[in-house]
Structure 1
Amino acid sequence: MSAVREAIADAARAVILPDGLAKLTCTGYVPDAVTVPCFFTAEYTVDYDRVMNRGMDKVELTCQVLVGIADDRAAQRLLDGLLSGSGPASLKAAIEAARGAPGEDALGGLADDLHVTRLQGYRWYEHQGTTYLGGQLTINIIGEG
C-alpha cells in the first residue's frame, strides 16, 4: 500500500491551480504539519480475497484536501475547484488520469484499476491545532492480492 499511496499523491500533483496560488502540496501519508493547499492519503480499508487464491483485493482509500481560511470565499472557491469532477484543478481528473490507457494497469502497474467515487465531509477540519477548510475523496482501487 505504501507504493500505491505515493502513486496517488504523485497523480494529484498534476492539478493546475489558478495563477497566484501556491502549488498543491501532496503526500502519500498524513503529514505532521500542513502546508496549504495540501492533499494527502489517509485511512484505508482492504477487502481481501475478492477472487480466489489472493487473485484480487479491493481497497477503499480516503484522501483529504485542506486549504487555508484567511479569506473564506477564496478558500471555498479553491476547494470547490479541487473537489470538482473535472477541470484543470480537479483532483478527481488528475488521479483518474493515472488509470492509464484502456487495457493498461493503473498507477504504473501497481493496480488493475482505480476510480474516485465520492466526495464527503466538506467542512472545517482541525489538524495539529490549526483549522482548515477541507473535504475527503474516496478512491476505490482494485489489484492483485
Structure 2
Amino acid sequence: MAQVREAIAAAARAVVLPDGIGKLTCSGYVPDAVTAPHFFCGEYTVEFDKGMRRSYDDVELTCRVLVGKGDDVAAQRILDALLAGSGPSSLKAAIEAARGAPGEAALGGACDDLHIKRIQGYRWYDHAGASYVGADLVIRIIGEGDAP
C-alpha cells in the first residue's frame, strides 16, 4: 500500500488550480499539519482473497482534501472545482489518468486498476488545531493479492 499511496498523491499533484490559488500540496499519508489546499491519503480497508489463490485483493482507500477557509464561499468554490468529475482542477480526472492504457497496470505498476467510487463528508474539518472545508474521496483499488 505504501507504493499505491505515494503514487496516488503524485497523480493528484497534476491538478491545476484556478489562477491565484497556488498549488495543491499532496501527501501519501495523513500529515501532522497541512498547507492548504492539501490532498492526502488516509485510512483504508482491504478485502483479501477476492480471487482464488490470492489472485487479487480489493482495497477502499479514503483520501481527504482540505481547503483553507479564509473566505467561506471562495473556499467552497475551490473545493467544488477539486471535486468536479472532470476539468483541470478535478482530482478524479488527475487520479484516474494514472490508470494507464487498457491492459496496463495502474499507477506505474503499483496496482491493477483503480477508480474514484464516491465523494463523501463535504463539511468543515478540524486538523491539527485549524479549521478547513473539505471532503473525502473513496478510491477502489484492485491489485494482486500475492504482491509483497
Q: Which TM-score applies when normalising by structure 2?
A: 0.97
SS at match of 1:50: coil
Q: In structure 1, what is the equivalent of residue 15 of structure 2?
A: 15
Q: In structure 1, what is the equivalent of residue 41 of structure 2?
A: 41
Deviations 1:91-145 (A, max 9, x none): 0000000000111110001111000010000000000111100000000000101
Pairing 1:90–2:90 present: yes
Matches within 5 A, 1:35-74: 35-74=35-74
Distance (Å, rounded) in 2 between the aligned partners of 1:40 and 1:110: 17
SS at match of 1:49: coil
Distance (Å, rounded) in 2 between the aligned partners of 1:143 and 1:119: 22
Distance (Å, rounded) in 2 between the aligned partners of 1:89 and 1:69: 18
Q: In structure 2, what is the equivalent of residue 25 of structure 1?
A: 25
Q: Which TM-score applies when normalising by structure 1?
A: 0.99
Residue type at the aligned position of 1:59: V
Shift in Å at residue 54 of structure 1? 1.1
Distance (Å, rounded) in 1 between the aligned partners of 2:2 and 2:143: 14
Q: In structure 2, what is the equivalent of residue 100 of structure 1?
A: 100
Q: In structure 1, what is the equivalent of residue 133 of structure 2?
A: 133
Residue type at the aligned position of 1:106: A
Gaps of at least 5 residues in structure 1 are: none
Q: In structure 1, what is the equivalent of residue 115 of structure 2?
A: 115
Distance (Å, rounded) in 2 between the aligned partners of 1:42 and 1:24: 17
Deviations 1:8-38 (A, max 9, x none): 0000000000111120000000000110000
Deviations 1:38-79 (A, max 9, x none): 000000000000011111000000000000001111101000
SS at match of 2:3: helix
Distance (Å, rounded) in 2 between the aligned partners of 1:132 and 1:113: 31
Distance (Å, rounded) in 2 between the aligned partners of 1:56 and 1:14: 28
Pairing 1:78–2:47 present: no
Distance (Å, rounded) in 2 between the aligned partners of 1:42 and 1:15: 19
